[in-house]
Amino acid sequence: MLRYILSRLGQSLILLLIVSFIGFAVLTLAPGGPLSQFALSPGMTQEQIDKIAEQMGLNRPLWVQYIDWFTHMITGDWGTSYRDGQPVLHVIGSHLFATLLLMGTATTLSVSIGSSIGILSAIRRGSLFDTTMTIAAMIALSIPTFWFGLIAIYIFSLNLGWLPAGNMYNIGDQSVLDYLRHLILPASVLALVDVAIWSRYMRTSTLNVINQDFVRTARAKGLSSHRVLLKHIVGNSLVPMITLAGLQVPMVLGGALVTETVFTWPGMGRLFLDSLGYSDYPVVMGLLMASALLVLIGNLAADLLIAQIDPRVRLD
């Protein structure tokens, strides 16, 4: 197990190197580059811009800039925000909780609801319920997330007035109930598409398990349908879903970016778009690396969990 973990950590480091270099090169070589924000200042001359570039080390070769940035990053210095002069880690940390709260809630909803729908659809294969859920899943997967968000705001905030249209809490009222009221709409919208994905995968996984010999043997022994379902079908159907959970991290992060923008949720996705708008490249690179780390941790955790619950899996 230890050898496997060390091997995965080595692979993750190589992947982080590749991701970081590509991201660094794209941002540095993009039109305008890190100096674009200074060029917009009134009265700024080319000579002054060249001086700023020299002070920031942006006139050096790209590979030298990258090595300098990466060396500082692995020692905990992720740079300083151009926008407010705060350390990048501090800026990201102030938005991390909001994103983890939104992602965690949406993932919990999508896994619990989607898995239940998938199991019922598999058990009642070909029924009206199965057909209805299949059509609903296709519709949910075909419509953009931002559209669901706008419709939810229009119905539940503007028309009915039941829930707030955006933000994470009301200023002066940061109670748990206030957080929950603001969380309901964005978490539900973000979970909606994932429910469709989980239900389809869970249906397929359950159908594969139902046709296995050990399920037929359990029924032949006279076990009740309820016990066969819980002990033999559901448990074995969930094993492939753990791998899917690790692979879903990038998709959830992408959906969170759109959802946070629609609902003005102060998370990492909203920060990413704001930083791009301000050409705050140190924060953009920090968010890219933080997202890559979340994806790698999610996949490693999924592999380790599968190894713990499935005796057929060996991590050597």
Q: Would you write out the chain's pLDDT as a tens digit for each of its 316 residues?
A: 667 677 777 777 888 888 888 888 888 777 666 666 666 666 667 777 777 777 777 777 778 888 888 888 888 888 888 778 888 888 888 888 888 888 888 888 888 888 888 888 888 888 898 889 888 888 888 888 888 888 888 898 888 888 888 778 777 666 788 888 888 888 888 888 788 888 888 888 888 777 777 777 777 777 667 677 766 677 777 777 776 766 666 666 676 778 888 888 888 888 888 888 777 888 888 888 888 887 787 777 767 776 666 656 565 5
Output the pLDDT for position 32: 62
Any residues with CB less than 8 A from the CB of 290 and at least 6 apart, and which?
92, 96, 268
Give the number of other Cβ atoms within 10 Å of residue 255's Cβ: 23
Tokens at residue 206, please? Answer: 């359950």
CA distances from 150 to 42, 106, 166, 220 (A): 37, 17, 11, 52
Residue recorded with tokens 């920031």: 56
Query: In this structure, what are the phi and psi dihedrals at residue 285, rounded to the nearest 5 degrees?
Result: -65, -40
Type of residue found at 68: D
Output the pLDDT for position 83: 79
Q: Cα separation of 286 and 264, whole Å?
A: 21
Residue count of the chain, please give it.
316
Output the pLDDT for position 81: 84
Output the pLDDT for position 309: 65
Output the pLDDT for position 41: 67
CA distances from 19 to 14, 61, 175, 246, 289 (A): 9, 19, 39, 18, 8
Give the number of other Cβ atoms within 10 Å of residue 107's Cβ: 19
Give the number of other Cβ atoms within 10 Å of residue 8's Cβ: 16
CA distances from 281 to 46, 106, 218 (A): 21, 29, 59
Tokens at residue 269, please? Answer: 């996705």
Q: Cα separation of 95 and 97, whole Å?
A: 6
With H, G, I as helix, E, B as strand and everything else as coil, classify residue 69: helix
Tokens at residue 197, please? Answer: 């994905």
Tokens at residue 137, please? Answer: 């899943």
Residues in a beta bridge with 170 = 173
Output the pLDDT for position 314: 61
Output the pLDDT for position 40: 64
